[in-house]
Structure 1
């Protein structure tokens, strides 16, 4: 596949370059400082918007809401619903990623998934509370839309940021997402607390606030960020062509060996990260019980962890001046391993606080540097297709962890042991990263 300029014969390159600039479709290196800052901030602000969903829906309020309207057992069954949404995404991601290579497709698909995700998040507030299973199915839909938008958002990093700034901007996106997510979540906590922790209305208001926040900070992305790398659209058979492109990429896997070795490592360690994000509330409530840690304390701790994550995400971006991204990714896995190995022995609120700080110190760094590292080792004209694979590996990974936790809980009847399912995921991911070169910043040949 080729970039826009490469599609054109030499006599027309200059004319079409002027057209692309007129339409605001400049490549990042063609932008002046003001334009570059505007596009970078518009891209980062989507992290600000979608992080509210990650905290309220994926990690905190929604699992607690299910526990109130159903039971603690139903909370633990969220692992199955998370796995279902991951299966759907894993099937769709490579197809969506390949389709997004064509001119105009990526922005349209991003807009669709983001807006539909926002609407379905708000829909959670209006479904009858006596239909918890239906609410969980709606959660699957909104989770698919949220993660679908992330496929295209991550791929837009290549369209929005020059290579030498990718680590920094990717880290800043996560950092600002963490610190600003305390605003909608903090407001929601006030409603939840004063309406009563067992009152579903407070959580329903949280869903509405989350959707509104997500919408506001999606608008700059919609307005300012455009696709500047694309492939010529086939005259017919777009879907058939997309499958052929997927097959072609796998056939040429030897050309991109570092990218695929990284994806295998990513498959394992990001499963551990996502499993902890999604299952922390049901796990802690199952292990400690409400007599030790009630819902409001747990939600406040999660709120505080977002504040802790902010400076560490910035720190990881700054450390790329001195260390390679892959080494920092390896360092970020260590606090996760310590946390999951000791979580089995968790007895009180202080242990939970220590665990929250350890996870917060690494979460932003490992996510941000994974995204930017991958963006630097793939061909820019195939960034959508490769980020489709990136999300396939991430989504398939997210099937394994929650399902294993739910399975261990079902087989043993001991919730405390379920966290052990996460340990080998980080160990395997760490070992595979040792086979990646320190300075893999170009496409492998």
Structure 2
């Protein structure tokens, strides 16, 4: 059976029911991405770390860092660990028939670690660091298995639409929970709660949401036997590492996929760093309280629903590559304008939020579906593991640059503007990607619009 025929057969047997169930994992895990990673964890970790700081420094491994830079360095550490762990996990997944089971298992483990953030109080910032790193690692691992299912339940022509709808569902679900947490944190006194307790309850709610809604894809998606894997002797882990080594050697035969991965490494670094540090920028640099930042982030979430759907429609007309490039230009404008937003100026901050929402979901959704076109049959999880080693939980180089620039300058403005280099380099590399050639190299069907 050819790769093209296999894709068509898989789509016809799975149908819309599995696709709808698949959408709900984006709905589930976006609670962690928004309430925890996006809004509350960074500022709350800084507040707790300040209680333990000596001369405005806390000890992180062998270094003394400012509490304000701690979230960026924590995310960097988490992603470096992911870069080592996720590729072997992807190789394991491609040799088993249990992708949805691995998806759910890592999701539930991540939710359990995220729930431990409820106990980060006083000056116990170390508990928050360890819990977040573990939860973020599980978040990335589950995303590998989730995205590797996309090519199994959709044809090449459907891919942009299905991926965009999943991202839209994610922003809707994450936004809904964030709205509830916005009310809880902003009006904590009305509920008889201190602000710190309201934040901790919100962090716990994200863990419960993530775990609960994961049952929908777990029940609604079918496991499928592995396809076209290399013959390697040994047990499942030995065979998986053998396949990983074989894939690493063979990736030179897929130069288009490698070029896109390199482009993605850069422009996604910028996107993920903006996402993870936006709340810190709003609270620490612009002087807004946590409730205001929550409201702006909530606005971003709901605008991103329509942004993801709009980018999916645009890709159907002009192709995913051109649409992503347009999004990268908008990202360059965003980080440039962020350099000049006056302290306490709400309207410019809201305008930045709307702009981020428009391009946020669209660029990420199309990057996922665009990359899936370059993956050879039977290596979906493995290729997406390399993809997510650079993506989920934020990429390490962007947060590292952000933290270093802040440490050197004492300001978040040059730190966020420095991210423009990632969008420029990523865009230039993406211009070099020959879409039709990459699809043919992988043995997939070339859609009518690319």
Deviations 1:57-77 (A, max 9, x none): 111022232244334952431
Within the alignment, does 1:387 sit opposite 2:384 as a pair?
yes
Partner of 1:62: 41
Partner of 1:23: none
Partner of 1:225: 221
Partner of 1:405: 402
Partner of 1:260: 258
Partner of 2:142: 149
Partner of 2:448: none
- Trace 1:96-111 onto structure 2 (pairs within 5 A): 96-111=89-104
User: Contact (CA 8 Å) 1:159, 1:229: kept in 2 or not?
Assistant: no
Partner of 1:285: 283
- Trace 1:227-376 onto structure 2 (pairs within 5 A): 227-228=223-224, 230-231=226-227, 236-289=234-287, 293-347=288-342, 348-376=345-373
SS for the counterpart of 2:418 is helix
Structure 1 residue 124, shift from structure 2 partner = 1.2
User: Contact (CA 8 Å) 1:45, 1:173: kept in 2 or not?
Assistant: yes
Q: What is the alpha-carbon root mean square deviation over aligned residues?
A: 2.4
Deviations 1:26-52 (A, max 9, x none): 953332xxx511100100110011111
Partner of 1:18: none
SS for the counterpart of 1:70 is helix
Which of 10, 21, 24 is matched with 1:28 structurally? 10
User: Contact (CA 8 Å) 2:341, 2:348: kept in 1 or not?
Assistant: yes
Deviations 1:299-321 (A, max 9, x none): 10100111111111111111222
Partner of 1:10: none
Structure 1 residue 234, shift from structure 2 partner = 5.3
Partner of 1:9: none
Structure 1 residue 87, shift from structure 2 partner = 0.8
Structure 1 residue 210, shift from structure 2 partner = 1.1
- Trace 1:114-125 onto structure 2 (pairs within 5 A): 114-125=107-118
Q: Which moved more, 1:166-175 or 1:350-359?
A: 350-359
Deviations 1:252-307 (A, max 9, x none): 23421111111010000000010001111112222222xxx222111101001111
Which of 182, 197, 202 is matched with 1:206 structurally? 202
d(CA) in 2 for partners of 1:399 and 1:92? Answer: 14
Partner of 1:19: none
Which of 29, 33, 39 is matched with 2:18 structurally? 39
Structure 1 residue 396, shift from structure 2 partner = 9.8
Within the alignment, does 1:424 sit opposite 2:425 as a pair?
no
Q: Which runs of 5+ in 2 are unaligned?
A: 51-55, 57-65, 443-450
SS for the counterpart of 1:321 is helix
Within the alignment, does 1:161 sit opposite 2:154 as a pair?
yes
Q: Which moved more, 1:222-231 or 1:94-103?
A: 222-231
Structure 1 residue 204, shift from structure 2 partner = 1.4
Q: Go from structure 1 to structure 2 and tell me whether the alpha carbon gap of 1:393 and 1:63 turns closer, same or farther (over 3 Å shift).
A: closer
User: Contact (CA 8 Å) 1:259, 1:378: kept in 2 or not?
Assistant: yes
d(CA) in 2 for partners of 1:363 and 1:440? Answer: 27
Q: Go from structure 1 to structure 2 and tell me whether the alpha carbon gap of 1:219 and 1:395 turns closer, same or farther (over 3 Å shift).
A: closer
Q: Which moved more, 1:102-111 or 1:267-276?
A: 102-111
Structure 1 residue 421, shift from structure 2 partner = 2.5
User: Contact (CA 8 Å) 2:136, 2:393: kept in 1 or not?
Assistant: no
User: Contact (CA 8 Å) 2:163, 2:369: kept in 1 or not?
Assistant: yes
TM-score using structure 2 length: 0.87
d(CA) in 1 for partners of 2:183 and 2:391? Answer: 34
d(CA) in 2 for partners of 1:258 and 1:235? Answer: 30
Structure 1 residue 246, shift from structure 2 partner = 2.4
Within the alignment, does 1:170 sit opposite 2:163 as a pair?
yes
SS for the counterpart of 1:61 is helix
Q: Go from structure 1 to structure 2 and tell me whether the alpha carbon gap of 1:309 and 1:57 turns closer, same or farther (over 3 Å shift).
A: same
Q: Which moved more, 1:312-321 or 1:268-277?
A: 312-321
Q: Paired residues, what number?
A: 419
Within the alignment, does 1:191 sit opposite 2:184 as a pair?
yes
Q: Go from structure 1 to structure 2 and tell me whether the alpha carbon gap of 1:132 and 1:126 turns closer, same or farther (over 3 Å shift).
A: same
User: Contact (CA 8 Å) 2:75, 2:394: kept in 1 or not?
Assistant: no
TM-score using structure 1 length: 0.88
Partner of 1:51: 30
d(CA) in 2 for partners of 1:286 and 1:255? Answer: 47
d(CA) in 2 for partners of 1:107 and 1:397? Answer: 23
Q: Go from structure 1 to structure 2 and tell me whether the alpha carbon gap of 1:212 and 1:396 turns closer, same or farther (over 3 Å shift).
A: closer
SS for the counterpart of 1:394 is coil
